[in-house]
Structure 1
Amino acid sequence: MKIIDAHLHFEQGGYWDVIAEEAGHVNTVAHLADTYKEHNVVHGIVMGNKPITETDCEYPQHLSYCVGIGHQTFDFNRIEEQMPLLEEHLRRDTCVGIKFYPGYSYFYIYESRFDPIYELAEKYNKPVAVHTGLTATDTALLKYSHPMVLDDAAVRHPHVQFVMCHMGEPWFMDAVAVMMKNQNVAADLSGILAGKLPDEEAFYRKNAYFVEQLKGQLTILQDYLRFMFGTDWPLANYGDYINFTKHIVPEEAWEAVFYENAKRIYRPKELL
């Protein structure tokens, strides 16, 4: 079975190297390539953390990227001035979307000041991914990353494809409610596990309620064409995450969730 990882990060050094080691990996290009080969991962979508000014950013083979909109990558006081830079990214075949980081940067994604960004997303038919749910730092604010913010944005921009990253963990019920109402909202299942599981059976016993709650919410939506496999590499172990996704998704939907949905939503050129 071919796999697309619809959500990973590609940064080296410091924090990223540490979490890779905790996940049983090594944060290098060579190790990632070997891991992809081992698990038949044919493509990955990088959630960008580089400044928008880096319009010539390059990633290794089999990786596309979403250009990041956050306080470390984007000047929120000069939105209009940066639209030519954003458009330059979106013209590139390797740029397959836009990624918002609202919880870390203290903004609501439905604010009218972001309309020019959505207009470009619609013009180039590229999705807008949004970090939702828990955050990696305690200085972030959850009110901006709650999945309900996508309801306002999806209604205001009905022709934009949204991706709810991490499915709003732990607000799975709210996430599904937003998806049930808004057909232009999909979700990736990344970032729910972290590190390497020393004992998978023990994990499922200890976290039975959490896992069954997530599995149940996926069942309620009854639309596996709107969920995508993702890992949040280097946060999680690839083998563990593949098994976890197989555990919460019925086998008849594996091909869609692991491959076809991300191919359709992000449309990486090398797979078309």
Structure 2
Amino acid sequence: MKIIDAHIHYCPKKPYFDTIAREAGHENTESHLLREFKRLGIEHAVVMGNQTLDSDAASFPESLSWCVGIDERFFTEETPSWWYDRTERLLASKACVGIKLYPGYSHHYITDKKYEPIYELAEFFHKPVAVHTGATAGTGAMLKYSHPLIVDEAAVRFPGVRFVLCHLGNPWITDAAAVLDKNENVTADLSGILEGNPSMDQFLKDKAGYLSHIRTWLEYLDRYDKLMYGTDWPLANMEGYIAFTMSLIPEKKWDQVFYENARRIYGL
């Protein structure tokens, strides 16, 4: 089975990412990542953030595409025109396949008027806007900004933009399913739901109720063409996450969720 990981982070030599990679049974290095890709049949991956707009990500391996990261500095710096110009230039690159927003960390709703030129660029270049939805890392973020229901308003106001609910809005799975069901221009990735490297057999047993809840609402939605496999690497063990995702998705839909949808949505 061919696989595209629609949501990873690529931060070699960063102490925080070194630590969480070890906890997930990995090494936070390019060589290790590419070895795991080859071993597990992962053909491609999409990096979220590309280390903000400061870098052209020229050092990324060919097997990685990336999204422009619009982080909290977008609302604190006094030269927003620089952000628009820089975003436009990066979106013109083939390797750049979308835009990533971090509303919980930026403390602004994605419906803020300041984002409107960003959405115009996304529509012009036919590239999706991925939005961090659901729980956040650390205590400095604000959850009200990352609730998946906020994407509903953005999807209505900007029908020409394709939005991606990163992390399926977890733990607001029910709300995320409602947003996906209502809006044809909203899709989701399944990343960041599982962390670390637990024993998968034990995890599936211990978390049966939690997994049943997710599975129930995915079945309710019944739009497997809208769901993309993703891990949030290095947060989670890749081999374990494949097994975890297989437990959520009917086997007849694996090709869609693991490969075809990401290829279509991110234009890979």
Corresponding position of 1:251: 251
Amino acid in structure 2 at the alignment position of 1:58: S
TM-score (norm 2): 0.97
Question: Percent identity, aligned pairs only?
Answer: 49
Amino acid in structure 2 at the alignment position of 1:101: Y
CA shift at 1:56, angstroms?
Answer: 5.5
Structure 1 unaligned regions, length at least 5: none
RMSD: 1.3
**C-alpha distance in 2 between matches for 1:73 and 1:42:** 33
> Equivalent residue of 2:53, what SS?
coil
CA shift at 1:74, angstroms?
Answer: 7.2
CA shift at 1:178, angstroms?
Answer: 0.6
Pairwise mapping of residues 31-180 of structure 1 onto structure 2 (< 5 A)? 31-55=32-56, 57-72=58-73, 77-180=78-181
Please tell me whether the aligned partners of residues 74 and 83 of structure 2 are also in contact (alpha carbons under 8 angstroms): no
Structure 2 unaligned regions, length at least 5: none
Greater mean deviation of Cα atoms: 15-24 or 75-84: 75-84
**C-alpha distance in 2 between matches for 1:8 and 1:96:** 13
Please tell me whether the aligned partners of residues 55 and 88 of structure 1 are also in contact (alpha carbons under 8 angstroms): no
**C-alpha distance in 2 between matches for 1:115 and 1:48:** 19
Please tell me whether the aligned partners of residues 173 and 217 of structure 1 are also in contact (alpha carbons under 8 angstroms): yes
> Equivalent residue of 1:232, what SS?
coil
Corresponding position of 1:219: 219
Amino acid in structure 1 at the alignment position of 2:4: I
Amino acid in structure 2 at the alignment position of 1:185: V
**C-alpha distance in 1 between matches for 2:27 and 2:266:** 27
TM-score (norm 1): 0.95
CA shift at 1:187, angstroms?
Answer: 0.3
CA shift at 1:54, angstroms?
Answer: 2.3
Amino acid in structure 2 at the alignment position of 1:206: D
Amino acid in structure 1 at the alignment position of 2:158: H
**C-alpha distance in 2 between matches for 1:3 and 1:114:** 32
CA shift at 1:231, angstroms?
Answer: 0.3
Corresponding position of 1:25: 26
CA shift at 1:137, angstroms?
Answer: 1.1
**C-alpha distance in 1 between matches for 2:71 and 2:230:** 21
Please tell me whether the aligned partners of residues 50 and 73 of structure 1 are also in contact (alpha carbons under 8 angstroms): no
**C-alpha distance in 2 between matches for 1:137 and 1:53:** 24
CA shift at 1:81, angstroms?
Answer: 3.3
Please tell me whether the aligned partners of residues 50 and 67 of structure 2 are also in contact (alpha carbons under 8 angstroms): no
